[in-house]
Structure 1
Amino acid sequence: MVYQTKKLNNVEAILNKAETGSDISEAEALCLIEAKTPEDIAAIGKTADRLRQRQIGDVVTYVINRNINFTNICEQHCSFCAFRRDAEDEGAFWLDREQIVAKATEAVELGATEICMQGGLNPQAKLDGTSLNYYLQLITEIKDNFPQLHLHAFSPQEIQFIAREDNISYETVLKALKKVGLGSMPGTAAEILNDVVRQVICPEKINTATWLEIISTAHRLGIPTTSTMLSGHIETPQQQVEHLGKLRSLQQQAVNNNYPAKITEFIILPFVGQEAPKPIRRRVGRDQPILADALHLTAVARIFLGNWIVNHQPSWVKLGLSGAKQALNLGCNDLGGTLMEEHITTMAGAKGGTCMDVPTLQSAIAALNRPHRQRNTIYEYVGSSKPK
């Protein structure tokens, strides 16, 4: 789709439209992304902050969770990925049952309400001859020991991988995972929902239509999902807007069809290329995200998506806690999770760290004169205390 950004679609008029509570168009979002003057950028940020306050309030939430990346052995070779390994490579790992349970045990001891679990696409990961049985075991290993934990697990790419390996439908996979305790699904592997870009950065990954189909199927089956965007690599502003438009349409579909679940949050994941394969590093031309660009896109995303996806979260792993705090003044209302460990982004060279304790998150929020509150995965407050 080619947008004609007319002079009448100036930043002030678009922001005025957003302030009335109306959805802005994709063409108008493109105009905002391409705004370059300091005055326009500041006005966009202030509008995003006001809309955040109106749509979701001043409370900044966080979740106590743990990431478990159960393997980095992967059949795919995404151009931006520094995480994957072949089975025989130095640094390859594949956690066994005892290691996974030990990580979950430690998480519970530290107050976690959620385990976020994702891994590489390992063709050897089978149980009794099927891929699905292996993934079902990953869930039951945790739920049998800690039924109170919410399992936020397996991207659309992993769902497609299971279905392909076992020659079964996405619906069959999702129903089986939900039955044994899958609580929600991360909307990762979205990267940029444009197949021209995907052919360059992740040609072996699922295409845009498949990602959207799997997420929509999850919503129809009552499995909430998140949504993400990998930004700041080879994509254009127009392709960023197309991505946001697809997410908004997906959420509108869930709402309009009265699906029992929908997208719970939107997260921008700025590209970190320090340890990425050399071809994409050379093409992008830098190792770390450009903070100003990530923050500007954060504000535009709130303006474009906020009527439909109210929870927006920055990535402190990629932006650092200081950058994430700035995002909280530009449309974000959630500071994410404690993680406890994180491999995918840190192996790419991110500087934000791998673990954040609760007092640090709370202090960062308090420094903005905003109240904080612990939440669970689906954005329900944990405990009965008032925001602090």
Structure 2
Amino acid sequence: MNSLSFILRRVLAGYDLSPDAGVVLLQQTDVGAISDIRETADALRRQQVGETVTYVVNRNLNFTNICEQHCGFCAFRRDENEAGAFWLDQTQILEKAADAVKRGATEICMQGGLNPGAKLQGASLPYYLRLVASLQEHFPQLHLHAFSPQEIQFIAREDGLTYGAVIAALQAAGVGSMPGTAAEVLDDRVRQILCPEKISTATWIEIVQTAHQLGLPTTSTLLSGHIETPEQQIHHLTLLRSLQQHAQAQGYRGMTEFILLPFVGQAAPKPLRRRVGRDQPVLADALLLMAVARIFLGRWIPHHQPSWVKLGLAGATEALTWGCDDIGGTLMEEHITTMAGALGGTSLEPATLQTAIHSLGRPAQQRDTLYQPIGEPQLPPMVALPL
């Protein structure tokens, strides 16, 4: 039985949403039905994590955009001698980290292109270990959230190592968690069009599962709103849920959060732009998908985050009433999505995030990467009542 009211009553009673029922929710077009889905997602958010909205003070650090791959949606990557190519040296990386610390950051999120030249003594892993060790030595207070499953596969391939060996070495050097990026859509039919050179669905899952088994938490993501179908979106969420269930059954933290990444195509290669037919995300589509993600994943992955870079701060704030409970990070700089044509900006101050959260009448709470609170919650300003 897949009537909307039955589905929503069942999830409010604590049952997991079936994939078929998830597709039913995503296919709704009636305004009243979508409102019911939003209210259900918001009720589950309130039940699972409460009213407080969290944020992290962090800095993105993309150390190079030189990349051997040519993903169909990417405006960030460059060839080595191409205009706009960059590769930060150790001094530049430490300067950026020092600036982040001065501005109150507790996290560095570090990812980069797959640069075949990034080696020491002819090997890839020592280069990455030096990046981590240098940051750890100078700024031991920073949590290093670094290197996607795609980067792990690249290092392992270059050096003839297992995924587990690469992850364990990086973890021992100071990496505290892994970004769940490079997932795009976990469906190889989509990946063959969108990013045919990237790792397969099975490899992404294997690497993330290996990280969990080594005790390294990850995040999870979905790149949405391009060529994928509702069925493929739900299949992606089903795989994430299964991974998390497996991790938790073994006593591991697994995935700390789910982040929806709506497609921005303004600077994407022309074939994909023509196929998608628009340059910016459709907010209504993203909000519905975020609500369904809360309904589908929330019992297993309780923290959900919109992307203010992709949706703008107003769109991300609205998402906090569609099942999301975290507004993301300050970022301080952002290259990948901005180079794709996003309009949301590259940096926000903590006070700006707090103001957005308070506009909903909800408390704001700074957190660390693993969702431990930092300091006291910031309560919304008192509103004077008329006499």
The answer to whether structure 1 residue 247 and structure 2 residue 249 are counterparts is no
155, 161, 164: which one aligns with 2:154: 161
Matches for 1:69-88 after TM superposition, within 5 Å: 69-88=62-81
The answer to whether structure 1 residue 291 and structure 2 residue 294 are counterparts is no
The secondary structure found in structure 2 opposite 1:58 is: coil
| Count of paired positions | 379
**Structure 1 vs Structure 2: percent identity of aligned residues?**
64
Cα distance in structure 1, aligned partners of 2:281 and 2:250: 38
The answer to whether structure 1 residue 375 and structure 2 residue 367 are counterparts is yes
Q: CA deviation at 1:282?
A: 0.5
Q: CA deviation at 1:11?
A: 1.0
Partner of 1:4: none
Q: Any conservation in 1 of the 2:53–2:357 contact (CA below 8 Å)?
A: yes
Cα distance in structure 1, aligned partners of 2:29 and 2:336: 32
Q: Which runs of 5+ in 2 are unaligned?
A: 380-387
7, 21, 26: which one aligns with 2:19: 26
Q: CA deviation at 1:387?
A: 4.6
Q: CA deviation at 1:128?
A: 1.6
Moved over 3 A (4+): none
326, 332, 345: which one aligns with 1:340: 332
The answer to whether structure 1 residue 119 and structure 2 residue 116 are counterparts is no
Q: Any conservation in 2 of the 1:11–1:35 contact (CA below 8 Å)?
A: no
Cα distance in structure 2, aligned partners of 1:387 and 1:70: 34
Cα distance in structure 2, aligned partners of 1:297 and 1:84: 28
The answer to whether structure 1 residue 54 and structure 2 residue 50 are counterparts is no
Cα distance in structure 2, aligned partners of 1:376 and 1:13: 38
Q: Any conservation in 1 of the 2:94–2:135 contact (CA below 8 Å)?
A: yes
Cα distance in structure 2, aligned partners of 1:223 and 1:127: 25
Cα distance in structure 2, aligned partners of 1:282 and 1:43: 34
Cα distance in structure 2, aligned partners of 1:69 and 1:166: 22
Partner of 1:268: 260
- Normalised by the size of structure 1, how large is the TM-score? 0.97
Cα distance in structure 2, aligned partners of 1:211 and 1:106: 33
112, 137, 150: which one aligns with 2:130: 137
Residues 15-35 of structure 1, C-alpha deviations (whole Å, 9 max, x = no match): 000110111100000000001
189, 197, 209: which one aligns with 2:202: 209
The secondary structure found in structure 2 opposite 1:112 is: coil
The secondary structure found in structure 2 opposite 1:68 is: strand
Q: Any conservation in 2 of the 1:251–1:308 contact (CA below 8 Å)?
A: yes
Cα distance in structure 1, aligned partners of 2:82 and 2:377: 50
Residues 331-353 of structure 1, C-alpha deviations (whole Å, 9 max, x = no match): 00000000000000000000000
Partner of 1:237: 230
Q: CA deviation at 1:258?
A: 1.7
Q: CA deviation at 1:140?
A: 1.1
Q: Which runs of 5+ in 1 are unaligned?
A: 1-7
Partner of 1:313: 305
190, 196, 199: which one aligns with 2:183: 190
Cα distance in structure 1, aligned partners of 2:146 and 2:250: 24
Q: Any conservation in 2 of the 1:117–1:153 contact (CA below 8 Å)?
A: yes
RMSD of equivalent CA atoms? 0.6
- The residue identity in structure 2 corresponding to 1:269 is L
Cα distance in structure 1, aligned partners of 2:29 and 2:4: 10
The secondary structure found in structure 2 opposite 1:275 is: coil
- Normalised by the size of structure 2, how large is the TM-score? 0.97
Cα distance in structure 2, aligned partners of 1:11 and 1:284: 29
